[in-house]
Amino acid sequence: MEVLYRSTRGNGSTVTASQAILKGLSEDGGLFVPDQIPALDVPVEKLAEMSYQEVAYEVMSRFLTDFTEEELKDCIAHAYDKKFDTEKIAPLTSADGAYFLELFHGATIAFKDMALSILPYLLTTAAKKNQVTNDIVILTATSGDTGKAAMAGFADVPGTKIIVFYPKDGVSPIQEKQMVTQKGDNTYVVAIYGNFDDAQTGVKKIFNDADMKAELEEAGYQFSSANSINIGRLVPQIVYYVYAYASLYKEGKIAADEKINVVVPTGNFGNILAAFYAKNMGLPINKLICASNDNKVLYDFFVTGEYDRNREFILTTSPSMDILISSNLERLIYRIAGNDAVKNKALMESLSADGKYTIDEEMKAQLADFYGNYANEEETAETIRRIYEGCGYVIDTHTSVAASVYRKYVEETGDTTKTVIASTASPYKFTRSVMEAIDSEKYAAMGDFELVDELSAISKVPVPNAIEEIRSAEIRHNTVAEVDEMPGVVKKFLGI
C-alpha cells in the first residue's frame, strides 16, 4: 500500500515520502501529512520479540513506502548503533507509579536524537532517489535540543550543510555549550536576539522566500529542514511508542491489547503528534496527556478550543518547551478539520495575522483523545525533589512537567490505566535546575560542572560522554544576529 503526502494548506496534489523529506516544508507554507495512516498489522507478540531496529523497520516501512527494504534498513542500521549508550535504545524505568520511557540515551542526551540520528540518512537517500545534485542546506530553529542533535547527525555528512538558530539566553548553559562547541566543517550556529518563536518564524520566512530560493539554486544549494515540521523527523518518533508498548507486554506489565496512557511534555507538538499517529495505526493508547509549562498555550487550546499566542513569553527551567507557536499542531488541526486544506489554511492565516484562531465545536469534539494541563515552576521543582526523595530516580525539568501533569490527571479523573511518560532529556542536560530543585541551598553556589559530578554521585548514573566532551571543548561558533539579519547570515555562510 503506497502512502503519499500532501500539504495541510495545498490543492490536493501529492508527493512521495522521499520528496516530502527533501522539501521539508511545502511551497505553500503547509506541512506534509500522509494521505492515510497505515495500519500496524503486526501482532504485539511478534513485536515483543523484536529489537528496536526491527520495530523501527516495521513502523517506518509503512510510512516511507518509496524507500526499498535495503535502503530503509541501511538508514536504520546507521542511526541506531553504538552512539546510543544502551542496547535497548529506549529503555523503560518504573518509578512513581508510571513507566518513564527514557529517550535520552543518544549522542546529545535528548529525545531529538531518536529521530535526528536517522534523518541525515533518510535525507541523503532521498536525494539520490530523486537525482538531486545540489548540496542540501539544513536550516533549523532550536529551543535547545534539536540544534545540537541535528548538528551531531549532519556533521561532515557529504553534500550537506547545517545552519542552526537558537535564542540567545533562551537555552540552558549546557545546551548552549553543546552547540557552540560543535565540530564539523559543514556546521554553523547563530544566536539570535529574540525567543524560539522568533527563530522559528525567521526560518519559515527564509523557506518561503522565492528570490532567495532562486539564488540558492543558482549557487548549487537547496533548503531542507531538520525541525519536526519535516515528516522525516516525525515518522521515526512513532517508533518508540510502539517499542514501549511491546516492551511492557514482553515484561508482563500489560496484556495484549490492554490500553495505556501516554504523557508527553509538549512544546512544538511533534512528539505527542507521533503518539497520536501511533494510536491511529492501531496501538492501544487510551489518553494522550499533553503537558505544558508556564507557556501554556496548548493547555488553554485543549480547554477552550482557542489557540492564542498573544501573551507573555515566559522563560522557564524547561526551555525546550518555551514555545507559543506549536508548529506541529497544524497537522492535528488539518486532520480534525476533515483533511480540509482550505479550512486549515484559513485558521493558520488567522494565527499569522491576529495571533489566534478558534476551532468549531465539531472539531473540538474530535479532541477527546487528548487531555491538557500544565505545571508551573514551583510544581516542576517539587516533583523532581519528590521523585528523587521517594525512589532515588532523578528526572530532568521537562520530564518533571510531564510527571506533574500526570499526577494532576490521576487526581482529577481517578484513571489508573498503566501509563508511559516520555522522558525527553537526561537530567545532565539541565543540571543546575535539577540540582537546585533537589536542594537549592546546598547546590546554588556550585559551578555547572561541579554540579555534574554531584548529580553523578547522587543518581549513581555515570556522567554521559556528551557532557564529558564539552568540559574543555573550544568554542567554535560565536555569531550573534538580529532576527531580520537571518537571511544575510545564511548567504554569508554559503558564500552567496
Per-residue pLDDT tens, the chain, 496 aa: give them. Answer: 899 999 999 988 999 999 999 999 898 999 999 999 999 999 999 999 999 999 999 999 999 999 999 999 999 999 999 999 999 999 999 999 999 999 999 999 999 999 999 999 999 999 999 999 999 999 999 988 888 999 999 999 999 999 999 999 899 999 999 999 999 999 999 999 999 999 999 998 999 899 999 999 999 999 998 888 899 999 999 999 999 999 999 999 999 999 999 999 999 999 999 999 999 999 999 999 999 999 999 999 999 999 999 999 999 999 999 999 999 999 999 999 999 999 999 999 999 999 999 999 999 999 999 999 999 999 999 999 999 999 999 999 999 999 999 999 999 999 999 999 999 999 999 999 999 999 999 999 999 899 999 999 999 999 999 999 998 899 999 999 999 999 999 999 999 9
Cα angle 470, 474, 480; round to 5 = 100
Quick one: pLDDT at residue 12? 85
d(CA 135, CA 158): 8
Strand order in the sheet with 14-15: 14-15, 5-7, 32-34
Amino acid at 96: D
- Helix 146-154, helix 173-180: angle, nearest 10: 20
Give yes or no for a contact between 119 and 233, defined as CB atoms under 8 angstroms apart: yes
Cβ atoms within 10 A of the Cβ of 58, count?
18
Of 123, 182, 181, nearest to 152 (Cα)?
Answer: 182
Of 74, 153, 53, nearest to 112 (Cα)?
Answer: 153
Q: Which residues pair with 289 in a beta bridge?
A: 263, 371
Give yes or no for a contact between 364 and 305, defined as CB atoms under 8 angstroms apart: yes
d(CA 304, CA 340): 22
d(CA 419, CA 415): 10
Give yes or no for a contact between 230 and 21, defined as CB atoms under 8 angstroms apart: yes
Stated as kind and residue range, the H or E segment containing 403 is: helix 397-413
Q: What is the pTM of this model?
A: 0.94
C-alpha cell at 88: 535497548
Reduce the DSSP state of residue 73 to 3 states and report it.
Answer: helix
d(CA 98, CA 264): 13
Name the CA dihedral angle for 144, 135, 220, 211, rounded to a multiple of 10 degrees. Answer: -30
Quick one: pLDDT at residue 480? 97
Give yes or no for a contact between 122 and 21, defined as CB atoms under 8 angstroms apart: yes
C-alpha cell at 278: 501511533
